[in-house]
Chain A
Amino acid sequence: MPICRLKRAAMFWAFLLGAWLACPGRTEASRSALLPDYMRLQYAGQAGLFSIGPGYSWWHRRVESGLSYGYVPAFIGDRNIQILSQRNSLSLARFHVQGMVLEPAMVGMATHVSVGDKYQVLLPKSQQDYYWPDGLFFWFFSGAKVGYMFRKPTPIAGMAAQIEVGTINQYFKAYTTNQSVTLDDILSLAISTQFYL
């Protein structure tokens, strides 16, 4: 059964990747355009203690979408937990200040999948009306980013640092159903660095 679930998870991600590469604008692009636009390293944010992964940008890097692999070591999570994520963000405002790019208002959402035989993502039909799959959660966030694009040609086109505050759907449910649960109880912080390629 665990192998079946792993297979299904692999097929799910392979499908996402295939659909991604086949989308208009990608098929017409040059080979280099298939390479990711950035690599992202994140701390916390329900994506793992640390997570890393590639992503693509549109609209002058205002819209970004990426995948990541995250890891929670056993000394924090009782067991080694691996998390695959698909993340999307939109920058609502942008300012250029002394060569820096400031984006003070970003919003986004990520889908996190905990992999392994301990977690369920696809529930049997008989359980779908009763359980929420414990390996699947959504991270909703808002944040701010500051970036710098290098003027001289370098292996890395630019860098950005981002801070965001968010919560997952399960915690949000607790917040909406209890007056005694405050935003402070459910929000957590994530810090990340992006390297533009």
Chain B
Amino acid sequence: MEATQSNPELNVANLERISEKADGPRNHFKIAVLADTHLWYDELKLAVARINSDTTLDFVVVAGDITKFGYADEYDRFADIFSGITAPSLVGIGNHDVQADGKTLYLRMFGPTDFSFTYRGVKFIFFDDNARGIKCCIPDFTWLEKELADAGDSLRIFTVSHAPPLSDQLDSAQSLRMAGLFAKYRVMLSIHGHTHSYDYGQPFGDGVPYLVADDIGDRNYVAITLSDTALSVERVFF
């Protein structure tokens, strides 16, 4: 896979693979979440091997920052290693990934930064919230609220964005707006990376849990299991 060449958009291709399994039991699935792979290629290879050993995973989510500098070489190296993963995978965009020409490379390699899909009764919403230094329209709150509202009462909601609210990528107004939307539409889980340390809690005390995955350099990822109403979050070390 080379970011510098024309490729199928990997997220789009993997969404098709995921949709083939979407008719399984409602509100039952297991996914893996990793984040901030940056230049940890050795650890990424180990993560791929560990993830492949878990045949119960429905798909894998990468919560952004697959590069350190946003260079084509880094995109290519990540894609080369990650192509070894057997489960379908979806890659979100991180603040490092948009450096230099990174965003162009991301769009070419993975497809749109903001997208959503429904899997077994849960609506997943991926969006770009790397707003630091960006003057306009990130996060795209209009799109985000529409996606949240469209879930209605019949679907649960998982959101995925690189930076958690109250991190350096979002100012306080943006953080509060995001958290307010998540509370309003009763998001079941908000998934992030960015801080390079694991965290799972309710920082706003509003019933919305925020999960922050550790960086891959610390040799762990998170396995999330939804079983009807029970949500289980487990760190997997490798």
Chain A residues within 8 Å of B, Cβ to Cβ: 76-79, 114, 118-119, 127, 130-132, 134-135, 170-171, 173-174, 177-181, 185
A173 pairs with B100, CB closer than 8 A = no
Docked pose: A19 CA to B101 CA in angstroms: 33
Complex A-B: 16 CB contacts under 8 Å: A78-B101, A79-B104, A114-B100, A118-B100, A119-B100, A131-B96, A132-B68, A173-B68, A174-B39, A174-B41, A174-B74, A177-B39, A178-B41, A178-B42, A179-B42, A180-B42
Docked pose: A185 CA to B34 CA in angstroms: 25
* Binary interface encoding of chain B residues 103-128 relative to chain A, with 1 for a CB under 8 A from any of its CBs, else 0: 01100000000000000000000000
Given contacts A119-B100, A131-B99, A178-B39, 14 further A-B pairs with CB under 8 A are A78-B4, A78-B101, A78-B104, A79-B104, A118-B101, A131-B96, A134-B99, A173-B39, A177-B40, A177-B42, A178-B40, A178-B41, A178-B42, A180-B42
Q: Is B69 an interface residue (CB 8 A)?
A: yes
Q: What is the number of residues of chain B that contact chain A, defined by CB distance less than 8 Å?
A: 21
Q: Name the residue on A nearest B70 (C-beta).
A: A134
Name the prevailing secondary structure of the A interface residues. Answer: loop
Chain B residues within 8 Å of A, Cβ to Cβ: 4, 39-42, 45, 68-71, 73-74, 77, 96, 99-101, 104-105, 133, 168
A181 pairs with B41, CB closer than 8 A = yes
Q: Name the residue on B nearest A119 (C-beta).
A: B100
B101 pairs with A77, CB closer than 8 A = yes
Docked pose: A168 CA to B170 CA in angstroms: 32
Q: Name the residue on A nearest B99 (C-beta).
A: A134
Question: Most chain-A CB neighbours within 10 Å: which of B39, B40, B68, B71?
Answer: B39
A180 pairs with B45, CB closer than 8 A = yes
